[in-house]
């Protein structure tokens, strides 16, 4: 629950495996929203839900990700197994590819280089 400018908003959020959700309700305004996203980000989607319930709540400013070219051999340094969530072990990107198959086999994790040693990640379905 949050209160801002005399407005009380009851809300809850959650997420798993690259998906995010937000539900909120402003009883006084008799307004409710549900926000669903198939892109899990560090910022989340809470700001969108709160902004829809109270336009005076600012939206977060997010810097766009820009892909940069790096030597594919650098990706080999990151080959291994990583725990994305408790008990969810995923292999790292395969040598020189920047992508890996997850344990479900249907989607992959794509690592996009932003700088040497800095990556953006996301789910994608191989074709």
Per the structure, the count of domains in the chain is: 2
Asked if 80 and 114 sit in the same domain, the reply is yes
CA 82, 84, 87, 88 torsion-angle sign? negative
Q: Which of 116, 115, 2 is nearest to 57 (CA)?
A: 2
- What is the predicted pLDDT for the residue at 13? 94
Contacts of residue 105, defined as CB under 8 A and 6 or more positions apart, other chains included, come to none
Contacts of residue 118, defined as CB under 8 A and 6 or more positions apart, other chains included, come to none
Specify if 44 maps to a domain: yes
Specify if 113 maps to a domain: yes
Asked if 83 and 43 sit in the same domain, the reply is no
Rounded distance between C-alpha atoms, residue 46 and residue 22, angstroms = 6
Asked if 8 and 48 sit in the same domain, the reply is yes
- What is the predicted pLDDT for the residue at 74? 76
59: tokens are 């939206």
Specify if 58 maps to a domain: no
Contact 52, 41 (CB under 8 A): no
Residue 20's domain spans which residues?
Answer: 2-53
pTM above 0.85, yes or no: no
Asked if 76 and 40 sit in the same domain, the reply is no
Q: Which of 13, 14, 10, 47 is nearest to 32 (CA)?
A: 10
Which positions of the chain have pLDDT values less than 50?
101-104, 106
Specify if 63 maps to a domain: no
């Amino acid at each position: 629950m949050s209160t801002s400018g005399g407005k009380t908003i009851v809300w809850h959020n959650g997420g798993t495996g690259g998906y995010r959700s937000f539900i909120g309700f402003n009883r006084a305004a008799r307004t409710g929203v549900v926000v669903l996203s198939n892109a899990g980000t560090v910022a989340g989607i809470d700001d969108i839900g709160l902004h829809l319930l109270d336009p005076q709540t600012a939206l977060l400013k997010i810097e766009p990700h820009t892909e940069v070219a790096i030597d594919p051999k650098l990706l080999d340094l990151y080959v291994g197994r990583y725990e994305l969530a408790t008990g969810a072990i995923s292999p790292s990107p395969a040598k020189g590819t920047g992508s890996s198959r997850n344990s479900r086999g249907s989607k992959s994790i794509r690592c996009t280089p932003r700088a040497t040693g800095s990556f953006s990640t996301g789910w994608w379905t191989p074709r």
